[in-house]
Amino acid sequence: MKDNFNSSLGFVLHHECVYAPGHEGDSQFVVSENVPGDTGGLTKFGIDAASHPGVDIGGLTLDEATALYHDGEWAGCRCDDLPEGIDTAAFDCAVNNGTIVAGLLFQRALLACGFGVVVDGEMGPATVRAATACCVQRRQDLMGELLQLRRNRYVDIVLHHPADEKFLKGWLARVDDLERFLNS
């Protein structure tokens, strides 16, 4: 499949980067943040300390963040093997929810579209084959199912952890933005 990493990374960074005042969009001025209530702790370029122990988050560069995303979430979801658009959806889901949750949601979306896969969270060869076949027949259905499953997950998180309600509007807006991005 076509490597769509740079476009997908651009989408993710649009949602993950915080800039020094007056420098919106300039990757040289991305700052680290530590949002109260965010279990990831110190974060820069969307890379958080909790998920990346040993990484100097405060000193993280764009090139280092890019490598972490490529070798982590992109490779973990086998995005190079997925059809274009589906790769971006899987990657963004993995960045925001982890690769296992992304795999689970993706497999549940495939099941909802009538493609039998084992729901184990692993984006293995059978899941990739099913995704490729589903995109030929029911691409829009797959995308709709995946996006709705993400929305449902965020609502469920808030139901079980009410303190996370402050993040819900942003999470849902991100899914809406992904839907627009994929349909453009």
pLDDT at res. 4: 87
The domain locations on the chain are 5-183
Distance CA 117, CA 7 (A): 28
User: What pLDDT band is residue 151 in, cutting at 50, 70 and 90?
Assistant: very high
Q: Which helix (H) or strand (E) holds 62?
A: helix 62-69
Q: pLDDT tens digit string along 75-125?
A: 999 999 999 889 999 999 999 999 999 999 999 999 999 998 999 999 999
Task: Give the domain 5-183 fold.
Answer: Chitosanase, subunit A; domain 1 (1.20.141)
Residue 1's pLDDT band (cuts 50, 70, 90): very low
